[in-house]
Amino acid sequence: MEVHFATSNAGKFREAKEILGKEGMDVRHFPFVHNEIRSDSLEEVATEAVRAAYAQVQKPVFVEDAGLFIHVLDGFPGTYSAWVQKKIGNTGILRLLEGVPDRFAEFRAAIAFTADGRDVRTFVGACRGAIPKKPEGKAGFGYDPIFVPEGHSQTFAQNIQLKNKLSHRYKSLSEFSRYLQGYQKGSTKI
């Protein structure tokens, strides 16, 4: 099945193509720049964006919105993670947490898919972990150097294979892949 991933983030596209490709899905990149709505809900942001993407591509399409939710910061940066990454980056996040013992954080991802521009399905994944005191690793992108998944000692940027097995994106893409397999066989409806 051919499905388009509407994103301007090349790192997200590579991860999705690799994960879904293993399931036999043909993932095409649809370069998509969109002024997202402001919401504290990843699902709401993704749902609105996938409708806008479908209006442009007119083919089965999905978008993914993700965020880093830091407990002690009341979930900040959350749905504003991409903007915060551009403005203050990992260094700024680490500065906000200087001297703070509670380092719990959670990556969350929401995928929204539509085949017709009207009906939308969402798939959510999460990965619990902690923010280390300094960035580690060179792989991945974004917050990967400052996120250590629960039960592990390396950041996502230190161990990309670990990220590809545990990440919020992997979990939401796996759920999406199961859905697409059923959709392709006709046993699943939107």
Residue 64's φ and ψ, nearest 5 degrees, are -135, 135
**Is 40 in the active site?**
no
Q: Could you give the CA distance from residue 174 to residue 70 in angstroms, rounded to a whole number?
A: 24
Neighbours of 103 (CB within 10 A): 16
Q: Please report, for residues 117, 138, 171, the alpha-carbon distance to residue 24 in angstroms, rounded to integers and kept in the order given.
A: 24, 29, 17
Q: Please report, for residues 73, 91, 105, 170, the alpha-carbon distance to residue 14 in angstroms, rounded to integers and kept in the order given.
A: 30, 25, 24, 12
Nearest in space to 43 (alpha carbons), one of 66, 59, 13: 66
Question: Residue 154 in contact with residue 148, Cβ under 8 Å?
Answer: yes
- State the catalytic residue, choosing from 26, 65, 74, 119: 65
What are the residue numbers of the active site? 65
